[in-house]
Amino acid sequence: MIKAVLVLNTQGKPRLAKFYEFQSVEKQHDAIRNVFSVLCSRPEHVSNFVDAESFFGPDSRLVYKHFATLYFVFIFDSSENELAMLDLIQVLVETLDKCFRNVCELDIVFNYSKMHTILDEIILGGQVLETSSNEVMKAIEEISRLESASKAINLVPKSVSGWRSQ
Amino acid sequence: MSIEDNGGLRVLAINILGRFLSNCDNNIRFISFSFITLMVATWIGQNQKIRLMVVEINLRGDGAERLRERGRAKAPE
């Protein structure tokens, strides 16, 4: 089970925080601060796996990847495999790269709802749903098409009421 | 680890983990170290071969040392 997904920038500001098991808001903030204090002091040439028991309780491990100005962090328990989680971070980043052209931190800041939609297509309730970025892209396009259709439906009542007033 | 006693599969697993250990990526070496630690605890009979493998890895320098320092993977005595 995946316990949390965090996207932090290199100054420690969280850009995305998704917790799949309940924690109070103060605990969430403490966890994000602890995760960043561990990551920023970690050298480049060691492995990307950290023991996360001190801030996420027993049976917790942490996998991170560092892209440009962002850290992508997954916290999970022993039922998941570390290398599989590393691949899942890659799938998430590939999907973001396909959704936003030349994806950067500003895209995550300004398109947070799309960001959460992408994450929900990959992970739901702490379980991995999809590991193919093409399938996730199809689902995202379908959702965008449905949103456009719902906007078009909103135009019909105005024309109906305009017709009635004639 | 829960597979029943089968000498051929054990040797195959140890060989595959050894190949992972010789990978230069620290992540893959970490995972293989962890599994070798589990195998040592479970299958004592293969200890000699694993000891040679781990000694060889230790001679390569910093990566294996840091893995051991972290305490997640302990080389057999």
Check CB contact of B66 with chain A, cutoff 8 Å.
yes
> Using one digit for the tens of pLDDT, what is the confidence trace for A40-50?
888 887 788 88
Mean pLDDT of B44-68: 55
How do A14-19 and A2-9 pair as beta strands? antiparallel
Using an 8 Å Cβ cutoff, are A23 and A126 in contact? no
In CATH terms, A1-153 corresponds, of 3.40.50.9100, 3.30.450.60, 1.10.3720.10, 3.40.1390.10, to: 3.30.450.60
Does B27 reside within a domain? Answer: yes
For A82, nearest residue in chain B (alpha carbons) = B31
DSSP letters of chain A?
-EEEEEEEETTS-EEEEEESS---HHHHHHHHHHHHHHHHT--TTS-SEEE-HHHH-SS-EEEEEEETTEEEEEEE-TTS-HHHHHHHHHHHHHHHHHHSTT--HHHHHHTHHHHHHHHHHHEETTEE----HHHHHHHHHHHHHHHHHHHHHHHHHHHHHHHHH-
Percent of chain A with pLDDT over 70: 92
Phi, psi dihedrals of residue A112, rounded to the nearest 5°: -65, -30
- What mean pLDDT comes out for the span A136-155? 83
Which residues in chain A touch residue B27, judged by CB atoms under 8 angstroms apart? Answer: 47-49, 82-83, 86
Residue of B nearest to A44 (CA): B26
Instruction: Please answer yes or no on whether A47 and B62 come within 8 Å at the CB atom.
Output: no
Instruction: Write down the pLDDT at residue A76.
Output: 92
Look at residue B1 and tell me if it is in a domain: no
* Beta bridge mates, A70: A9, A67
Return the residue matching tokens 């299958």.
B43
Q: In whole numbers, what is the pLDDT of chain B averaged over residues?
A: 66
User: Do B28 and A83 make contact, defined as CB atoms within 8 angstroms?
Assistant: yes
**Mean of pLDDT values over A108-125:** 90
Each residue's pLDDT tens digit, A138-147: 999 998 898 8
Residue B52 lies inside a defined structural domain of this protein:
yes
In a domain, B61, yes or no: yes
What pLDDT score was predicted for residue B28? 82
User: For A65-109, what is each residue's pLDDT tens digit?
Assistant: 998 889 999 999 988 888 899 999 999 999 999 888 888 888 888
Give the separation between CA A37 and CA A35, rounded to whole angstroms.
Answer: 6
Q: Could you tell me which residues are beta bridge partners of residue A18?
A: A5
Asked, for residue B55, whether it belongs to a domain, the answer is: yes
> In the prediction, which pLDDT does A8 show?
92
Return the pLDDT at B77: 44
Taking only the tens place, the pLDDT of each residue in B28-54 is: 888 887 887 777 766 655 555 556 556
Structural domain spans, chain A = 1-153
Residue of A nearest to B64 (CA): A46
pLDDT value at residue A74: 93
Among candidates B27, B62, B67 on the partner chain, residue whose Cβ is nearest the Cβ of A86: B27
Domain of B33, in residue numbers: 7-74
CA pseudo-torsion sign A43, A77, A57, A11 = positive
- Residue B22 falls inside a structural domain: yes
Structurally, chain B folds into a number of domains equal to 1
